[in-house]
Amino acid sequence: MAELTYREAVAAGIAQEMERDERVAFLGEDVAAAGGVFKATVGLLERFGPRRVIDTPISEQAILGAAMGAAMTGMRPIAEIMFSDFLAVCWDFPANEFSKARYMSNGQIKLPLVVRCGNGAGSRFGAQHSQSVENWAMAIPGLKVVAPSTPADVKGLLAAAVRDDDPVMFFEHKSLYALKGEVPDGEHVDQLGVARIVRPGKDCTIVALALMVHRALAAAEKLAERGIEAEVIDVRSLVPLDTRTILGSIARTGRLFTVEENPRLCGWGAEIASIAADELFYDLDGPIVRITTPHIPLPAADNLEDIVLPTVDRIVETVTRSMA
Amino acid sequence: MARPRKKPVASPGNDDIGEDKRLELWRKQLEIRHCEQRAYDLFLQNLVKGTSHLSLGQEAIAAGFAAAMRPDDKSFCTYRGHAHTLARGVPMEQMLGELMQRDCGLMRGKGGSMHLTSIDHGVMGSYAIIGAHLPIAVGSAWRAQYLGHDDVTVVFFGDGTTNIGAFHEALNYAVVFKLPVVFVCENNLYMEYTPIGAITAVEHPAADRAGAYGLDKIIIDGNDADEVYRTAQTAFAKARAGEGPSLIECKTYRHSGHSRADPGAYRPKGELERWKEHDPIKVYRARLAEFGIADAVIDDIEQAVKAEVERATAVCKAAPLPPEDILTTDVYADGGWAWRN
Ligand SMILES: Cc1ncc(C[n+]2csc(CCOP(=O)(O)OP(=O)(O)O)c2C)c(N)n1
């Protein structure tokens, strides 16, 4: 096992797939010579050359459109949208084009492409560079949606996304790029649609994604000191969604908390809460509680951003109060 | 009575096309004309559902480009894509069947008139979001360049599309990377109901902007299939030689309204009549005669096309509706729609 940062795991995942399959090429703004604004793609240009690692103009529609056109005619491109907020500029492609082409063509079109982007808050960038928008993508039939929390998952899930024949929206968390972790040596390919129990517990289930997984884990440690054993689940993939693992856990613990960076309305936690209420109502021992940001744009200032994102303390307090 | 045979005009440029190709261009234009007129009739009978966007009057563009395409070339078109779909050789009953939302349709009714797709014919889809397909076509061209294929990607769009961002992004991108893509603007003078001149900063919405992307300003008579065919050949040769994209503005006019039963009441009096004088079918019939092709040959083709339209209509009318079990197929690549386990 090698220790890699989350950002190094991005490059490692892309490199692994480009090595394996000539049809994989990578495009985005400042991704080649500069190695990406988050330095997540350093070294790829040197290794694979400008034919396969491409610096594009600031043309989000052209980037996603080109990825789609290439995918539907025989390539397996990876496209980067620098900040996930900018997906709004080219949202036609995920929302109308590559999510629907297979269905509308009655299966004639196949779209093996990956859109990667830096997602999430914590960098004091303000409201247009800090959003978590994985829930936008989750609402669209035809897309797959992945958000890894560890370097190993970045590499393994990215590889799985590249090999998948559906369009995959791949949300990397900006505040995790420096995180270090063990990544399996050699070829590493994970599986989409598998949630992971990252901490077993018997008293309640905390379901989290990306950065919030780490906060939920820290909260679980503190809760243990208070005598509450929380089971923490890393959802990892919103579509497909591993409800078996999630519902199995809730059935055992009887309690569900979701921790998400999304604003209060229509975050993915609401969907999981709804599924649990639907299918496990009689197993529940208390209300389902969502821990989210308030329904406000994200502020830039340190102290303000810290207040709105779910913190370890907020998770601890919310769970403790609700379990009392 | 047969018209007097004229000698071919002594322009060397005209001799390159030849009788076989001319008859192919004639047939394609007629197929589009008669099939679209039938689509309109079927719409009035409520047998074509939803909407339909005809390109009556614009046939020469679809026919001219398709006649210059190889089977492995790719074409991308808009919701006004019946013509381009037929021109690539898609069987009539599959096109009409999709408009009638029958099981025999190209996508078995899952796409509808605005989303005609036939990958086997290189028809890479019709796109209903204005401009979206320009960057997608660029990606198809990138694939050709990347994998070392020498097919060309052609993308058709209207004049109104030149005012959307994707047009500009796609052009710059294609030029920067010298991609084998040919952008074809069908300037039919109207967006939906608004004259393009009233809402566009330049006179020639596509061609006047070509220079901004380092491209030649190409404006052609889009109602003359020969001119379209020749221009297409030149652009394709350039693309295949690795010399990058072209942008071609074809001047034309749609005889019908924008969609469905739009009567086009916003058009100034006499405009339609003036353009009908320059109807591509009329222009081409005269051209064929000019080249000494017998009326009987010309008429036989027209009769055959009409019979084909009748046949296809009958097939579609008899075809069943799509079965409900296809409703949830092909949302994802495994053929199904499951988003959870
Ligand atoms: C992004 C977007 N905006 C608006 C529309 C509605 N709309 C459909 S057709 C059309 C006019 C397009 O004009 P043009 O590009 O000239 O094509 P034409 O219909 O003349 O072939 C508009 C505005 C749309 N489909 N997509």
Alpha carbon of A264 to ligand 1 centroid (Å): 36
Alpha carbon of B160 to ligand 1 centroid (Å): 6
Please enumerate in sequence order all residues whose Cβ is within 8 A of that of B181, keeping only pairs 6 or more positions apart, or say none. B137, B138, B140, B141, B152, B153, B154, B155, B174, B239, B245
- Report how far Cα B138 is from the mean position of its chain's Cα atoms: 18
Mean pLDDT score, A288-297:
97
Nearest CA in chain B to A28: B173
Mean pLDDT score, B37-53:
93
Task: Please tell me whether residues A204 and A291 are part of one structural domain.
Answer: yes
pLDDT of residue B267: 95
Task: Please tell me whether residues A178 and A148 are part of one structural domain.
Answer: yes
Task: Please tell me whether residues A17 and A97 are part of one structural domain.
Answer: yes
Please enumerate in sequence order all residues whose Cβ is within 8 A of that of A215, keeping only pairs 6 or more positions apart, or say none. A208, A259, A310, A311, A312, A315
Position A76 in a domain: yes
Across A47-56, b (16+ Cβ under 10 Å) vs e yields: ebeeebbbeb
Cβ atoms < 10 Å from Cβ of A34: 13
Mean pLDDT score, B215-238:
98
Task: Please tell me whether residues A139 and A32 are part of one structural domain.
Answer: yes
Q: Are A206 and A230 in contact (CB under 8 A)?
A: yes
Alpha carbon of B193 to ligand 1 centroid (Å): 10
Mean pLDDT of chain A: 97
Mean pLDDT score, A27-34:
97
Mean pLDDT of chain B: 95
At A138, the pLDDT band (50, 70, 90 cuts) reads very high
Task: Please tell me whether residues A57 and A94 are part of one structural domain.
Answer: yes
Query: Which residue lies with its CA nearest to atom 21 of ligand 1?
Result: B158
Question: Are A97 and B110 in contact (CB < 8 Å)?
Answer: no
Residue that is last in its domain, among A183, A215, A241: A183
CA dist., res. A185 & res. B313, Å (int): 62
Instruction: Tell me the domains of chain B and their CATH numbers.
Output: 19-258+268-316 (3.40.50.970)
Where do we find the tokens 């339609």?
B272
Task: Please tell me whether residues A96 and A117 are part of one structural domain.
Answer: yes
Task: Please tell me whether residues A156 and A244 are part of one structural domain.
Answer: no
Across A207-219, b (16+ Cβ under 10 Å) vs e yields: bbbbbbbbbbbbb
Q: Are B133 and B157 in contact (CB under 8 A)?
A: yes
Task: Please tell me whether residues A200 and A298 are part of one structural domain.
Answer: yes
Position A189 in a domain: no
Mean pLDDT score, A9-20:
98
CA dist., res. A228 & res. A222, Å (int): 9
Position A134 in a domain: yes
Rounded to two decimals, the ipTM of the complex is: 0.94
pLDDT in tens, A70-81: 999 999 999 999
Q: Is the CB of B191 under 6 A from ligand 1?
A: yes
Q: Which of residues 81-140 of B touch A (CB under 8 A)?
A: 106-108, 110-112, 115, 117-119, 124-125, 127, 129, 132-140
Position A190 in a domain: no
Task: Please tell me whether residues A237 and A210 are part of one structural domain.
Answer: yes
Position A191 in a domain: no
Residue that is last in its domain, among A151, A183, A215: A183
Task: Please tell me whether residues A162 and A206 are part of one structural domain.
Answer: no
CA dist., res. A60 & res. A57, Å (int): 8
In Å, how far is B292's CA from the nearest CA of chain A?
43
Q: Is the CB of B82 under 6 A from ligand 1?
A: no
How many structural domains compose chain A? 2
Task: Please tell me whether residues A219 and A116 are part of one structural domain.
Answer: no
Percent of the residues in chain B that have a pLDDT greater than 90, as a whole number? 93
Domain with residue A90: its CATH number is 3.40.50.970
Percent of the residues in chain A that have a pLDDT greater than 70, as a whole number? 100
Mutate to test the pocket of ligand 1, among B136, B155, B191 (most ligand atoms within 8 A of CB): B191
DSSP state of A24: -
Q: Which of B133, B139, B170 comes nearest A70 by C-beta?
A: B139
Would an 8 Å CB–CB cutoff place B331 in contact with chain A?
A: yes
Q: Which residues of A touch B333 (CB under 8 A)?
A: 102, 110-112, 164-166
pLDDT of residue B261: 77
Task: Please tell me whether residues A92 and A127 are part of one structural domain.
Answer: yes
Please give the residue range of the domain that contains residue A178: 2-183
Rg value, chain B, Cα: 20
Which residue, among B164, B166, B142, B167, has the nearest Cα to B153 in the 3D structure?
B142
Which residue, among A122, A118, A182, A121, has the nearest Cα to A150 in the 3D structure?
A182
Position A35 in a domain: yes
Q: Which of residues 23-82 of B touch A (CB under 8 A)?
A: 74
Residue that is last in its domain, among A154, A183, A212: A183
Domain with residue A288: its CATH number is 3.40.50.920
pLDDT of residue B3: 47
At B12, the pLDDT band (50, 70, 90 cuts) reads very low
- Phi/psi region, residue A284 (left: phi>0; alpha: psi -120 to 50; beta: rest), is beta
pLDDT in tens, A97-135: 999 999 999 999 999 999 999 999 999 999 999 999 999
Mutate to test the pocket of ligand 1, among B183, B186, B192, B250 (most ligand atoms within 8 A of CB): B192
Distances, alpha carbon A193 to alpha carbons A237, A245, B68, B339, B341, in Å: 5, 10, 46, 9, 8
